[in-house]
Structure 1
Amino acid sequence: MEKEELDILKSKDPERVKAVLDEFNSKNANLFNFEKFHTDGQWLTLWRIVFELLTDDQLQTLHPLCLNTVRILTRDEFALQTNDIKSDFCLLLELARLTLGSVIVSEVKQETENTDSVASLAVGNADEDTETVVEALKCLCNLVFQSHDCRKQCVRNRTVDFIMKRVTSTTQYSNSIEFYDMNLLFLITALELSTRPRVQIDLNGIVYLTKWLDDKLVNKELTVEDLKILCEVLKVLFNITTNPDKSPNENEIQSLHLTSVVRELIIRFGEIKNEQERAVVFHCINLLTNMSSGSLTELVVKCETTESSLSALIYEDRNVLALDIILRCLRIVLEETENTAASNKIILPVLTVLVKCARCNPVMRHYIRTVILPPLRDVSQLPEVGKELRNYLCRFLTVHATMIRDLSAELLFICCKENVGRMIKYTGYGNAAGLLASRGLLDCRRVENAEYSSDSEDSDTEEYKQAQSDINVIIGRYEPPKKNPLEGMSEEQKEHEAMELANLIEKLHNSGIVKPCRIGEDGKPQPIDHILQLQEELPQQQLNQKHKS
């Protein structure tokens, strides 16, 4: 900004100031590189002049424009860290009506009088006040995101208390104020961990925010702005339900109610007609990862009717529509990661919720299994080849990303009721080897303390039974009968081939390419010193396997 323009701002001439700020804001709307403002202290000079304008009550009509300029300047992280802006931050809190004794001029006529003995600091009509509050909130969001000192100042000023006071108020605020209130609360609770127990326990945040969501669901029509606010509230709830500090009983009651509200949100927006509805559903799934196993039972409520409808999908006398939508979301993210360069991280919350659901409730496990592991019919393809959910999950069993690999393996294993033979049937021994090795199940022993219902729920199809004898369990697919490669060989030739194979494995071992192992008594692989140790252990392993089978 030129010196002449700075002088105009100092003059405080409303019309000329407005023209200069309009031009600056329009020109720098998308500015993120502030190097040119670091010469001759331009950033600090402009910052100080604009805040002088904000302290002038005679220029209140210009305050939204001034705050727009401040918002642009708050993008400069370097300047925020090298300059003292504590008093300016406090002024922004006042303009956002997040200080003691300040309230917003209401846009909507109140049905009841405010009983708080506070005086409004706002001057002018409600529209002007709302615009000022919104712009101040935008600035605060930038500052909290960019500056550690500003976050600490929010803690000292108990900013979260004032935001929650607006949440619990009977006053109806504009969508813009609600959105940026929640955005600011999300940023504070995300970046300043000490505020989470304050919101959750002292301010009863879970109860009030859950009620807020519940009230929103009453509306038949929700705008795009409403859906954006829903997303911000769900993000705040995710923050404050991470590592809950309340007593187990009290937290469980709140979690049950919250899960039931989340279920209704998932069902209402489960068709995912647009990106905003998708965001709501996926934020709901993120939030469910923090819910206890007992709370997740609220996802499948008991139904009196046996007929499915648009708001109900009946399975074993339960409405599993919300669970079905989560499974559909799994397919959506799996297809996205397959077809685009999307990060696998978007899959983790969905898999986490499905694993927890499958573990905590037999009805949910039964339904998840019917979708992910339907009865096998075509066994001509490898388990990891295809577009079914089972195929996608089998592909993840051998990826380097440990979290997605382990979650995929656990979900499949739970669907198989932790039965090793059934797991191998659906995935092949090779794909399942990582899971089996980590759990000490390479010798196909039974899982101890696995509590599942005794019903079979695994009837083989006729197609599978016909091909079963020719299925290669290592790769998990049908292979036509092949000629025995040892057929026609003398015993000496067979022994020679065996020694050749042993020598080749030994060479690979010595060069560090492979590390031969045997299955130990704990069912886990144990490295060996020499390849001939495999031959020594073979008779005993065969005997042990015979006893287990």
Structure 2
Amino acid sequence: MAAPSHNTSKLSQVQALVDILKADLQDHDLPPEKRVATLEELKVFGRDADQSGPIFTKEGIEMLCKHAFEGTDNESALEAMRCLANALLIVPETRQIFVELEYAEKAVNRYQNNSPDEEFLVGRILFLVTYATPDIPKWLEEYKLAKYLNDAITEHGEIYSKINKNKQPSAMQDMAFTETTKLLFNLAHLAPEKVHLFSRSIPNLFKILCRRTLPSLPLQSPIAHLINALLNLDLSSQTGCVFPSFDPTCNVAGLVRVLDLSVESPNEKRNDQRNQLFDEAGVPLITLLRKLFEISSDQAKEYMRKRLLPSDEQRKNPLGKGDSLASRLLQLSASAAALNIRQHLALLLFEVSNSNPEEFVRNVGYGYASGLLLSAGVQLPQSALEGLSTSPDNSGRLFNPVTGQALDCEPEIKDPFSGMSDEEKEREAERLFVLFERLKRTGVVDIQNPVEKALHEGRFEELD
């Protein structure tokens, strides 16, 4: 690639490159390698809008579109698409120019080429242009974009077939898949009446989610965009593939696995980055789990309860003290580091408790339930608290309604006077009397000495 000259201004150099590429559209006299080098140089200048105006004019965008979608040289076309994608990102006004030039259909057709490089670039271009066009239904049906997206996602799903067991995608394939799922999310969001056109992609999206190797921080590209894409699809119309007969829990388990890897105890300083990422990107995941629970089979619902709610074993201690997923969710729900996600966690745990306030308190303890319900705006009726400490759960055990700990596992409270002689008890009472009198004389608090009160009420016994 030729280095930019420092003897002329950036603006004049950009104009000269645009003029060369415009002339080439008529004369076709640039060798392919020279055309690619010229477009590469223009791409470098176009990363900063300052003094790069000729790129972002109608003539500049049209020139790039012609090289990208009407040229015969594939390498030049790819480089022109890179320039175009940068322009659409940096200067949003160019998106409307692209729409007016009517290059959307030609861009959509490039999805058929089964090339990760083209899928990445065309996916990004169309994603950016969705914000400037009312023609999305036309794109989906007349231009067949829905079909091409479904086909592309099917190709990505084939990477994870049983024949290719343990095979993982290349970096370029992952980048292409990310742009396709981002585009799918926008299309389904902006044209919800056409969302049924993407039903064919639901099983492949779940296959990819469940079979790919997850990174240590999974709520990043491409998993985060895959979850976003699923969130906008009509899962209720595809319950047969969402909860397959061979294993109704497999897809729910895949999402819970992402959740498990995304949440750590907020008490550990080393986990700040993980929980911060979860607080920022975890809402779609929690919302998708809620959406799935609503349409789940009984088997899938039971699986979610077992994974997300404290078990009987965990009730040997106050809830939220262990390292299980349920404990970490409770810890995070009460953490100041989870301001964005707390309300969504509350609703998930409440709905997994069959949206029953009393059952919810039984599951997580009133200490957590009160705060979670308050943050979610759910009123906890008084009837939900009555009799909780004396009414056994399904296993017949009584539990502390505040901490959720089984009463038979609570530590025995020892009598502080146990083992003392009568003389020692009398000296301890005198010591407490003196301490309370000193506190009373400070005037800081208005307090009645409990020893004095006991004397007045006749609760002290005279000793010989």
TM range, smaller chain: 0.7 to 0.9
Query: 1:383 touches 1:426 (CA, 8 Å); kept in 2?
Result: no
Counterpart code for 1:227: D
SS in 1 for 2:60: helix
CA deviation after TM superposition for structure 1 residue 223, in Å: 4.4
Distance 1:336 1:208, change over 3 A: farther
Pair 1:423-2:360 in alignment? yes
More deviation, 428-437/42-51: 428-437
The question of 1:182 aligning with 2:154 is answered: no
CA-CA distance at 1:351 after TM superposition:
1.0
Structure 1 residues 44-63: aligned runs within 5 Å: 44-54=11-21, 55-56=23-24, 57-61=28-32, 62-63=34-35
Partner of 2:315: helix, strand, or coil? coil
- Alignment partner of 1:233 out of 170, 173, 180: 180
Q: Does 1:141 align with 2:85?
A: yes
Of 250, 253, 259, which residue of structure 2 is paired with 1:330? 259
State the match for 2:350 in structure 1: 413
Residue pair 2:243, 2:297 contacting (<8 A) in 1 also: no
Q: Does 1:404 align with 2:341?
A: yes
C-alpha spacing 1:217/1:89, structure 2 compared with 1 (3 Å): same
What is aligned with 1:156? 100
CA distance in 2, matches of 1:198, 1:346: 32
Q: 1:95 aligns with which of 67, 70, 76?
A: 67
Q: Percent same amino acid among aligned pairs?
A: 21
Structure 2, unmatched stretches of 5+, are 386-392, 417-424, 434-439, 447-464
State the partner residue of 1:376: 312
Residues 425, 155 of structure 1: alpha-carbon distance in 2 compared, 3 angstrom cutoff: same
CA distance in 1, matches of 2:239, 2:312: 29
Counterpart CA distance in 1 for 2:252 and 2:372 is 26
Q: 1:441 aligns with which of 380, 383, 387?
A: 380
Structure 2 distance, partners of 1:414, 1:277, is: 23
Q: How big is each residue's C-alpha offset from its partner over 1:11-54, in whole Å with a ceiling of 9 and x where there is no partner?
A: xxxxxxxxxx53349xxxxxxxxxxx9xx981211101112222
Whichever residue aligns with residue 124 of structure 2, its letter is: N
TM-score (norm: length of structure 2): 0.73
Of the three residues 482, 486, 501, the one matched with 2:413 is 482
CA displacement 1:57-99 (0-9 Å, x = unmatched)? 32233111111111111121343569862211110111101xx
Tell me which of 229, 239, 242 is aligned to 1:297. Answer: 239
What TM-score do you get using the length of structure 1 for normalisation?
Answer: 0.63
Contact 2:360–2:369 at 8 Å: present in 1 too?
yes
Structure 1 CA distance, aligned partners of 2:80 and 2:240?
A: 40
Question: Contact 2:11–2:53 (CA<8 Å) still a contact in 1?
Answer: no
Q: Does the 8 Å contact 1:53/1:63 carry over to 2?
A: no
Find the aligned partners of 2:216 and 2:102 in 1 and give their Cα distance. 37
Aligned equivalent of 1:360: 295
The CA RMSD over aligned residues, in Å, is 3.8
Partners of 1:289 and 1:353 within 8 A in 2: yes
Query: Does the Cα contact within 8 Å between 1:77 and 1:146 map onto a contact in 2?
Result: yes
Aligned to 1:65: 37
Q: Deviations over 1:292-314 (max 9, x none)?
A: 351463553443x6xxxxxxxx3
Q: Counterpart amino acid of 1:475?
A: T
Unpaired runs of 5+ residues, structure 1, are 1-20, 26-36, 103-120, 123-128, 306-313, 447-457, 494-499, 507-549
State the Cα distance separating 1:421 from its structure 2 match: 2.8
Residues in 2 aligned to 1:432 and 1:276: alpha-carbon distance in whole angstroms: 28
Structure 1 292/48 Cα, relative in aligned 2: closer, same or farther at 3 Å?
Answer: same
After alignment, is 352-361 or 82-91 more displaced?
A: 82-91
Cα distance in 2 between the residues matched to 1:161 and 1:263: 29
Q: Do 1:51 and 1:88's aligned partners in 2 also have CA atoms closer than 8 Å?
A: yes
Q: In the TM superposition, what is the alpha-carbon distance from 1:275 to its structure 2 partner? A: 9.0
Per the alignment, in what secondary structure is the counterpart of residue 263 of structure 2? Answer: helix
2:3 match: 23
- Report the CA distance shift for 1:49/1:173 in structure 2 as closer, same or farther (over 3 A): farther
> Within 1, Cα distance between the matches of 2:141 and 2:333?
41
Aligned residues: 396
Displacement of 1:204: 4.4
Change (3 A) 1:410 1:274: closer
Residue 189 of structure 2 is matched in structure 1 by: 242
1-side partners of 2:288 and 2:241: how far apart? 11
How far apart are residue 162 of structure 1 and its match?
1.5
Deviation of the 1:231 alpha carbon? 1.9
SS at match of 1:242: helix
